[in-house]
Amino acid sequence: MREIVIFGTGEIAELADYYFTRDSGFKVAGFTVDAGYLKETTFNGRPIVPFEEVANTFPQQQYGLFVAVSYSKINDLRASKVAAARALGYELVSYVSSRATVFPELQINENCFILEDNTIQPFARIGANVTLWSGNHIGHHSVIEDDAFLASHVVVSGGVRIGRGSFVGVNVTLRDHVTIGKKCVIGAGALVLEDQPDFSVVAPRGTERSPVPSTRLRRI
């Protein structure tokens, strides 16, 4: 069983620890964060070391590394930490849930986090440092470029391209063969029927609250 170190001590790091520990061939040996964010010496019962000194405790020749960071700064933060770990010589590992539907031809690149109930159809391609939260459909011949983050229950139809560093919110539907440019933000519940250029923001209007309070409703 290969031992790894997780970068991060937030909620995503805690989830990554849970998934890697219970559903992978990896064993989590410890955690690391930038020295300025080091507040404790342990997390989930394992040591936390400053990232600036991580190789002293967890040498690259013996340990892999996983960067458990969210979509902060439109995925730039996670991408920068992946680059920093790579520069130190670490092999960046990935997690693919045993409850995801994938096919043997799918290539899994570094630092991917693919959770349960994702369906990735044949001929789809997933880049490096991609997060697919639970319950997404990735259609055939679609391409998700590096550093993207898809929240839950996204429908990516066939032949779609999602650009590098983009964020796609919950319950988004992307029509077949549309292209989402790099670093786009597609808000929750959006229905995307046409191409979106780089740096686009698609933000559907949220549900409006009625001025009538629930205590005045007669038929519920």
pLDDT digits (tens, 9 = 90+) for 54-105: 999 999 999 999 999 999 999 999 999 999 999 999 999 999 999 999 999 9
pLDDT at 166 exceeding the cut of 90:
yes
pLDDT digits (tens, 9 = 90+) for 167-218: 999 999 999 999 999 999 999 999 999 999 999 999 998 888 888 898 888 7
Average pLDDT, the chain: 96
* pTM of the predicted model as reported, rounded to 2 decimal places: 0.95
pLDDT of residue 102: 98
220 pLDDT tier (thresholds 50, 70, 90):
low
pLDDT of residue 219: 73
What domains appear along the chain, each with residue ranges and CATH number? 2-87 (3.40.50.20), 96-197 (2.160.10.10)
pLDDT at 128 exceeding the cut of 90:
yes
Please say whether the beta carbons of 81 and 13 come within 8 A. no
Tell me what the mean pLDDT of segment 101-125 comes to. Answer: 98
